[in-house]
Amino acid sequence: MNRSFRLGPARKWHFLAAALGSAFLLFLALPGYFGWWPLLFIALVPLLTAALYLPPLRSGCMGLFAGLVCNILVLHWIVVVLGRYGGLPPWLSVSAMVLLALYMGLYLALFCFLLSLLAGRYWQKERSVTALVWTAPVLWVGLEYLRSVLFSGFPWLDLGYGLHSQPVLIQAADLGGHHLLSFALVLANGLVVSVIDRQRSAIHWNISMERRVLLMACCFLVFVFGYSVVRYRVMPSFFRQSLLAEISVIQGNVAQDEKWLPEKKEKTVAVYEQLSQGVLREKTTELVVWPESALPFYPQKDPLAQRVADMVRAENVYLLTGAPTYSVTPSAEEKTVEYFNSALLIDPAGVVIGSYAKQHLVPYGEYVPLRKYMPFLAPLVESVGDFTAGVSSQPLAMGNHLKLGVLICFESIFPQIARDEVASGANLLVNLTNDAWYGRTSAPYQSMAMSVFRAVETKRSLVRAANTGISAFVDPAGNVLEKTDIFTAEALSAQVPVLEKNTVFVRSGHLFGTACLAFTPALLLFRKRQV
């Protein structure tokens, strides 16, 4: 039976409430101010239920509204970044944040549109709910992956990241990455919708077949979370058999609006020196880690670089520090100078033995696309320059037993970068970042939450050094061993296990999101044949 739904005023308010309900539930569930992770298993229920009945265009509009509201709540820190530190006026900062939230909301709009088109009841009121249960997670993860690569990518706070505080539930990330956890959460929400839907009095579809399909969904969830529980319990046995590395991280808490002033750079070096010497007097540390741009000068030409080398030599320790660098390429006409956001590895002799250049730069933060057409955005990069992206994922070798895979700043939210470094031989991940830009907002906590998954996916310990926090040590099972508060000057030390074996995610599981995106056209083709 075909039926076209006509929505009265009360019905329209019902779907508006569904959009707002899912938006606020997601905000409460995701990392930041609340992080009430159990809500992740029901947060999408209002949205999925509404998409089940709405025609595609109206469903898409509902998704856009929900996405806009949710992302404004999640990404409000953009106003601080652009306004306080980027130098933009309030009206422009707020406008940019709303535009970014709108862009992020477009993915939720497309999700709801496609879900209604492929699994909705707008054209058949007795259609089985099982189509929605399995279609929803495929679409969701496919669009999550698309968002991570389109327009340079911005995969901020994908759904699976909401489980970061529950390591016992997220070990399956070493099979299919955080996208596999997103898939499982959307599938769980779909199952809740199916349970509610089955309470209707008049159901005419094949009940036996539906039970089998829903049972398959239950089995999938049992596998994902059952695997996670078992994997978590056996991880300590791997730790006991592994080498342990004693590492110290230094959180200098240098004010963002001061660190790049020429008259303050010596004071900045002194802060990191004193904190490092203090912890080295108490701990037998083999590696000290300073955060992104801890050296606010070019070490190739600044005499302060010698002071850092002298300290390293005196303490007989390796140092990994963030610093800007440059390279000069002579040509027949003129020299070409390129600038990089780098990490430098200095050995106990005070010699730079390796460097890594950040591969994934921040648009409008480290470079300005189409700068000549948007000159009003120039203040965003005045303090850091216009950087060139690095191209190498090779780890930095520290002696014979440690190979450091470096992630600078928000590279930690891109699983592919960490995966490439581990595939190239890295047995320890190090995230150097400067989260001072975010101020006292939810962003530092969100950034930290996403970093946890890089450790779990690759089964590598992750060391995180942040200028103003959060600095932390994360073991390969996702346990946060030590961490700092934000906006404090601290030095932390910990022993972290060094594992060598590559996970399924490193070998092939990183393609899970790609597979979901590739499967979406097949769903559309199948639907066309059925209509």
CA pair distance 524, 348, nearest whole angstrom: 59
In the predicted structure, residue 198 carries a pLDDT above the cut 80: no
Residue 1 pLDDT level (bands cut at 50, 70, 90): very low
Catalytic residue among 70, 112, 409, 516: 409
445 HSE (CA, 13 A, CB side) = 15
> At 45, which helix (H) or strand (E)?
helix 45-53
Residue-wise pLDDT tens digits, 328-340: 887 667 778 889 9
- Cα dist from 408 to 81, 361, 492, 497, whole Å: 18, 9, 19, 22
Active site residue 144: no
CA pair distance 326, 337, nearest whole angstrom: 7
pLDDT at 366: 74
Mean pLDDT on 438-458? 96
Residue 383 pLDDT level (bands cut at 50, 70, 90): very low
Please state the three-class secondary structure of 299-361 as a single string: CCCCCHHHHHHHHHHHHCCEEEEEEEEEEEECCCCCCEEEEEEEEEEECCCCCEEEEEECCCC
Written as six digits, the tokens of 83 are 């306004």
State the residue for tokens 């956001």: 341
Residue-wise pLDDT tens digits, 238-293: 999 999 999 999 999 998 877 778 888 899 999 999 999 999 998 889 999 999 99
- pTM of the predicted model as reported, rounded to 2 decimal places: 0.93
Written as six digits, the tokens of 325 are 């660098």
Where b means 16+ CB within 10 Å and e means fewer, 341-370 reads bbbbbbbeebebebbbbbbbbbebbbbbee
Written as six digits, the tokens of 311 are 């300290």
Q: Which domains occur in the chain, in start order?
A: 9-238+511-530 (no CATH), 243-499 (3.60.110.10)
Alpha-carbon dihedral sign for residues 417, 103, 367, 73: negative
Written as six digits, the tokens of 457 are 């996916």
Residue 84 pLDDT level (bands cut at 50, 70, 90): confident
Mean pLDDT on 148-155? 93
Catalytic residue among 210, 273, 292, 411: 292
Active site residue 366: no
pLDDT at 487: 95
Catalytic residue among 70, 112, 210, 358: 358
**Orientation of helix 173-197 relative to helix 45-53, angle to 10°:** 60
Active site residue 219: no
* Helices assigned H by DSSP within 75-172: 78-80, 90-119, 130-149
